[in-house]
Amino acid sequence: MATQNFDPTKPVNMIDLTCNQVDSIYQHMLSKGMPEVMWTVDIQKYVWEEVRDAKKNGKKLIAFGGPVPVTIIRAFDCIPFFLDTIPTRIASMEDLAGRYIDETEKYAPTSTCAIDKVQIGVALKGEFGIDIDAFVHATVPCDSARIAYPMMERLFGCPCFTFDCPFRHDEKGYAYLAQQIEAFIPFMEELTGLKWDAGRYEKFKGIMEESNKAFDLLTQLGDLRKKTPCVLPGRMLVLNEIVAPLAGTEACTAMLQTQLEMGNMLADMGMTATRCPEERYRVCLMQNMLWSNTGIMDWMEKCYGAITVMDGFGYQDGVIFDDLDNWERVKMQTAESMLLTPMIHGATGPTEYWLKVIDKMYEDYKVNVSIFMGHVGCKHTWASGKIVTDYIQQKFGIPTLYVDVDAIDPRYKSNDELRAQIGEYFESVVGAENFCK
């Protein structure tokens, strides 16, 4: 469990605290002389310092939740601040995550997703440490978010914009969302005092070209993970979630490029960056990432030779924008990409959408161990879990382990309990040898 590194009796400045923590890791790695992995921390420094320094750099800060067009926000010279990065970042810090979850539970049901509880808790305590100029959110991915975001609107008291995301992910659904993307432009114009004119559109196109590069690299990284053995560790899936707020920045493209070069180099040398003594199993975590205990992936690699090749959150079909001069086409593709965002793509429409994601993950990544790492907040995915796991059993012949977890609140299940549950499955159902015994 990570140390709290804060005084619980005093107010917290979340952004400063996080920037300081990331900087400590950065300095530690510098002092240890680890140049080959510095890029993994460089990008974290970038994401947090960009938010911290927005005002200093004369930019407005736009908090957002759910899938929103961050490239448009950047085209208006604003910094998008993905609120989910706070709970996912502090999930392994029991005292800090608990501080905000407990605060929210004074007013909201405990069954609310802990991602939302942390965000609301920080807002209730007034501990973001930065001023938010606007809040943009969507009506997906779930009931929890649909209740939490309007509450946050009231707490933030700033201009807000809501994307009403359709249930159907098809041309009609994209067209419905595209209308709202059109309506988002005057909202941004009024907020910033800037015009969506030819010059701004040129800037937008540059950002979109950079975003295209990021999604192309992400696809190549996905392809690399299909190789046997998988050269990149499960932890890289967590790092790549950073694409959500950073797509369209050179920093994001550079991080993905470095990761790809490193992975290709390892593959060429017949090596891997995983902790597997020998790859025996290829695991799919089919629901959310377990942010409160990402170390469980390292443990599966080391003790069972089981590498997490893909997770349901990290899996994405990036949309490559193919006609940037055509605004109508760009709006439709933006709508499509919003609905293909992880956590949205498989879980915000009919179960068939989730089955499609399952097909791609299990076939392409040659999965042979299936784990439903079920975050208790995601009640909508538990609702279709039986359909999905029966499908996996029938189509791929793989029995799925159900593990209930709280992806954000580490108090829900201890590391020992989690290891016991997963270990028993590996040894009694999969028939795996435990290299750590």
- Interaction site with ligand SF4 (CB under 6 A): 113, 115-116, 141-142, 144-145, 288, 343, 375, 377-378
Q: Are 97 and 410 in contact (CB under 8 A)?
A: yes
d(CA 171, CA 332): 8
Burial (CB < 10 A; 0-12, 13-18, 19+), residue 32, is exposed
Closest distance to ligand SF4 from the beta carbon of 342 (Å) = 10
DSSP string for 153-192: HHHH-S-EEEE---S--SHHHHHHHHHHHHHHHHHHHHHH
Closest distance to ligand SF4 from the beta carbon of 384 (Å) = 13
Residue number, 118 or 256, with CB nearest to ligand SF4 = 118
Residue number, 196 or 382, with CB nearest to ligand SF4 = 382
DSSP string for 28-57: HHHHHT-GGGHHHHHHHHHHHHHHHTTTTT
Residue number, 262 or 388, with CB nearest to ligand SF4 = 388
Closest distance to ligand SF4 from the beta carbon of 377 (Å) = 4
Closest distance to ligand SF4 from the beta carbon of 348 (Å) = 8
* DSSP-derived secondary structure letter, 380: H
User: Which alpha helices (DSSP H) does 240-349 contain, by range?
Assistant: 243-246, 250-268, 295-304, 327-339
Residue number, 141 or 385, with CB nearest to ligand SF4 = 141
Query: Three-state DSSP class for 393?
Result: helix
Q: Which amino acid is at 399?
A: P
User: Which alpha helices (DSSP H) does 111-161 contain, by range?
Assistant: 114-125, 143-156
Closest distance to ligand SF4 from the beta carbon of 291 (Å) = 9
Residue number, 6 or 64, with CB nearest to ligand SF4 = 64
Closest distance to ligand SF4 from the beta carbon of 116 (Å) = 6
Residue number, 290 or 303, with CB nearest to ligand SF4 = 290
Residue number, 149 or 391, with CB nearest to ligand SF4 = 149
Residue number, 69 or 312, with CB nearest to ligand SF4 = 312
d(CA 21, CA 5): 8
Dmax over CA atoms of the chain, in Å, equals 65
CA distances from residue 106 to 100, 110, 122, 288 in whole angstroms, order as listed: 10, 9, 13, 26
Closest distance to ligand SF4 from the beta carbon of 375 (Å) = 5
Closest distance to ligand SF4 from the beta carbon of 264 (Å) = 32
The angle formed by the CA atoms of residues 248, 254 and 256, to the nearest 5 degrees, is 90
